[in-house]
A and B are shown apart, each in its own frame.
Chain A
């Protein structure tokens, strides 16, 4: 690839266009000489592009000319600029992949779509998936005319439409939360701002979506359009960017990126958690992790990021909503941390894996031939995310989701398991090694004390052993219950996080992969990084002032 880069560059050097003659092009093509130490203006340009994302101004070049070179003060100013924090956030996007585009954030019944009117008038908004309940016919919208509302009773008049087989109302004009200075047309039933249904169910709740009296609430706050849902998705990713920027700008230790329980919320994100998330049982906001009441006063249109402290289990970017949604399984979550931040990819050895085809079936991948090569490390690490739902972002509170649950144990044998049991507890398995864990929260599977396992297995067939949390070693309980913070702290203590950060910074700024000869240099940088209190600016400064960065080929 590097060879290709040089060939292409050379071709471009000899082929400058726009009327330049061949001789002139060659004369002008002062292509870089091999391995030249960048000094003065070119060094300034490289620093400015890497640390601020833009070339220096002419005035900055003049200052360097006057000073006779790039001074320490210039580098410090670049590192202290907000632009540097943004560049660090941009680089971390390549590590965290903090973007989701097609994940449904709300129940489809809460999504407003334009009505398919056959008129030149602007369409109204309505919920396609509630149409059957509201009008008696699937997907049928309201009529393209203003709604008639009885001023005394508030009753919305409907007209029987034989063509569609539906009772159809008209539309109302509403100022939506996403553009309060304007109005949009909304089918009258969907525009309802009633707080609760006749049976007392809150219209803002998940159950409210199943009540015909309920609509989208005041200013349509409890619903989204495809556009506002995407704005909310983008905000999930931007919240992580913001956390990275704030940690860097405030000179906080780099480890705060993983250990802090502070998250940032802007208008769309606050609106999502306060008004909309409760209507989707996959992602409810739990009061213990996130006090949504703190978000009540943040208007959707606000672009200010507000810090909010979450529960102690929250582990910075590693339990951020976008990380949990982007990496849907716990193994995937752990794997990304190892690969992106520790530089430890899970790949088989070059000679392949030894697999004994005649070996007895082994459901525990940490023990199974072939699988154990990676899973012996990966699975215990993945268990740190065991209290977060997979394919979701819900924190499973110990009060509602204890290590084992009798209802999930019973349904594993008798059938009729709830979605909660199926998603979060062991309810399926063919082998006795699996069935002894029926009723246990999934991360606890295979983690019962080894000495008791055989006895449990023997009894399981006859007595359906009730799960006992005390059968799990305290270390294993901590492993799961204290979350990814334990994993992060372990990698801080053994130096892997510092070394991984150094390798990442070298890859970002130097551009080339490190080689074995760089070992002492990386070790020295990692040592200095840790000694500095994980000061990211100190690390970056060491790299951009090194010969390795300044010498260019």
Chain B
């Protein structure tokens, strides 16, 4: 049922009321009385018998007044519809990956930039065969984004480990060897920064939304060895951040 139809119905009903002389709605006042006559069916012996009903002298009618008119809009006021969240287009995704990783890109087996190569597949029109940009977050996009994230994040973490602290873009507040046990505040601070960097989500240090991410980091850092592997943990965090709708939609 369309909104227009519903509105049409409301308007129609209002018009019908006005046409019937009901332009002002009746108001029942607080002092109105209602006759609640109970008929004895003989089931309750304890109840006193009701007074006889005298048809010649019916109960006094309740006093009813019509209140002051209150204008009521028949059509809801215009309220701008919110916009739908949008999926990044491929150019935005390319530029964003470039920015959040400091220039790491998804390179395929032939040495080409895979996102550029797959741009048409992922909805970028060439304006010859296709003219409509597809920006649906469909399963094909999800699959390719997962591949991108796994490739880029592994590359990014390798680069981070080989970079001086001042040159890092992901491990800015935590060292590659820091763990939740050895440097909990550094891990938490770094998590806050990467959430801001990747999702534009600003969390305070005591935000409850931080805990699930820190828990995930701890779990992903676990290996068969006794000591945790924080790089593995950060790689997993990176992939999760990139695969999250808060990354590729806005």
- Chain A interface (Cβ < 8 Å from any Cβ of B): 1-2, 4-5, 8-9, 12-13, 16-21, 24, 27-32, 35, 40-42, 44-46, 49, 53-58, 61, 65, 90, 93-94, 97-102, 326, 510-512, 515-518, 520-521, 546-549, 551-553
Contacts and interface: CB of A to CB of B under 8 A. Distances in A.
B165 interface: no
B81 interface: yes
A8 B137 contact: yes
A24 B215 CA distance: 8
Contacts of A8: 136-139, 142
A551 B80 contact: yes
B83 A512 contact: yes
A511 B245 contact: no
B236 A548 contact: no
Closest 7 interchain pairs by CB?
A551-B82, A45-B200, A54-B95, A548-B80, A27-B212, A97-B127, A99-B127
5 contacts: A9-B245, A32-B246, A54-B99, A55-B96, A61-B200
Interface stretch (B20-28, B85-93, B175-183): B85-93
B128 A53 contact: no
A4 B138 CA distance: 9
B159 interface: no
Given A16-B244, A17-B239, A28-B212, A58 B150 contact: no
Given A8-B137, A18-B236, A24-B216, A553 B200 contact: no
Interface in B119-173: 125-128, 131, 133, 136-139, 142, 146, 149-150
A531 B95 CA distance: 35
Contact of A49 (B92, B142, B209): B92
A13 B245 contact: yes
B99 A19 contact: no
Contacts, number: 149
Given A9-B245, A518-B80, 15 more contacts: A4-B136, A5-B87, A8-B139, A16-B243, A18-B239, A19-B219, A19-B236, A24-B219, A27-B212, A29-B244, A41-B196, A45-B250, A53-B95, A102-B128, A551-B83
B136 A99 contact: no
Nearest to B209: A30
A319 B24 CA distance: 63
Contacts of B126: 99, 101
A58 B82 contact: no
A118 to B, nearest CB: 28
Contacts of B200: 41-42, 44-45, 55-56, 61
A95 B48 CA distance: 86
Interface string B85-115: 1111001100110111000000000000000
Nearest to A40: B202
A32 B85 contact: yes
B73 to A, nearest CB: 14
Contacts of B244: 16, 28-29
Contact of A28 (B85, B96, B240, B249): B240
Nearest to B199: A45
Most buried by B among A19, A98, A552: A19
Contacts of A552: 82-85
Most buried by B among A32, A98, A518: A32
A265 to B, nearest CB: 21
